[in-house]
């Protein structure tokens, strides 16, 4: 039996398909929206539609942006000879929050995953290879440490190494505050391999 009327159920159903939003969160959001002033709801809906219509891929790095060139690629202070390859725009944002990286990015919008039918042609590898025709000193592969991320990293490395461009992989290892007894063997092995002198 439905607890709510048709429109409330419909709104809950639509919200619950969003990532990280379960049924209870969807209910909370739905009732919050219902209790908002009508003008605010219209503004929210208009903003979502407008954002979806205006967002595009950066012509250089393929991140999501609302202009031809994203703010990172448009920044003349960035080192365009060093390209960090990430899986998605959220990963780019995570590295930007560190304020430690001064190069540019390339966003793949996915990782190679044969079980889901995602091969090299389904991610933005062709665009990366085109960028490497210009002056590039280093490609930093910063894909996730998942099987798919590792597969993608190895594939990209094999494509780029013959060009003579330096290819590096981000280190992975023990997280700050992590207790060694709870960390998997692969992570511990990588932490050991990527150790630095103090």
Q: Using CB atoms within 10 A of its CB, is residue 85 exposed (0-12), middle (13-18) or buried (19+)?
A: buried
pLDDT band at 104 (very low <50, low <70, confident <90, very high): very high
Q: Does domain 57-169 have CATH number 3.40.1360.10?
A: yes
Q: Is the pLDDT of residue 1 over 50?
A: no
Tokens of 80: 């365009």
Rounded Cα distance between 105 and 82, Å, is 8
User: Percentage of the chain surpassing pLDDT 90?
Assistant: 75
In this predicted model, what pLDDT tens digit does every residue of 7-45 receive, in sequence order?
999 999 999 999 999 999 999 999 999 999 999 999 999
DSSP 175: P
Residues 153-195 have pLDDT tens digits of 999 999 999 999 999 998 877 677 767 677 777 777 777 777 6
Cα dihedral sign, 144-98-48-60: negative
pLDDT of residue 184: 73
Q: What is the pLDDT of residue 195?
A: 67
Burial group, residue 167, by CB count within 10 angstroms (0-12, 13-18, 19+): middle
Would you say residue 196 has pLDDT above 90? no
DSSP code per residue over 40-58: HHHHHHHHHHHHHHH-EE-
Q: If DSSP codes are grouped into helix, strand and coil, which group holds residue 118?
A: strand
The whole-number average pLDDT for the span 118-134 is 93
Confidence of residue 197 (pLDDT cuts 50, 70, 90): low
**DSSP secondary-structure letter at 181?**
G
Q: Is the pLDDT of residue 124 over 90?
A: yes
Whether the per-residue pLDDT at 93 is higher than 80: the answer is yes
Per residue in 115-144, is it b (16+ CB within 10 Å) or e — as a string? Answer: eeeeeeeebbbebbeebeeeebeebbbbbb
Whether the per-residue pLDDT at 198 is higher than 70: the answer is no
């Amino acid at each position: 039996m439905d607890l709510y009327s048709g429109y409330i159920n419909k709104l809950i159903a639509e919200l619950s398909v969003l990532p990280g939003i379960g049924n209870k969160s969807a209910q909370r959001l739905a009732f919050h929206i219902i209790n908002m002033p009508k003008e605010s709801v219209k503004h929210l809906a208009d903003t979502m539609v407008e954002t979806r219509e205006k967002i595009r891929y950066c012509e250089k790095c393929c991140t999501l942006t609302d202009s031809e060139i994203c703010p990172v690629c448009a920044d003349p202070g960035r080192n365009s000879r060093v390209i960090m390859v990430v899986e998605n725009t959220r990963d780019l944002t995570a590295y930007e929050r560190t304020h430690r990286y001064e190069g540019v990015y390339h966003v793949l919008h996915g990782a190679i995953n044969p079980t889901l039918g995602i091969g090299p042609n389904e991610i933005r590898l062709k665009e990366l290879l085109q960028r490497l025709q210009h002056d590039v000193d280093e490609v930093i592969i910063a894909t996730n440490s998942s099987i798919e991320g590792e597969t993608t990293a190895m594939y990209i490395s094999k494509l780029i190494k013959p060009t003579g461009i330096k290819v590096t992989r981000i280190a992975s290892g023990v997280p700050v505050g992590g207790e060694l007894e709870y960390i998997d063997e692969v992570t511990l092995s990588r932490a050991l391999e990527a150790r630095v002198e103090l």
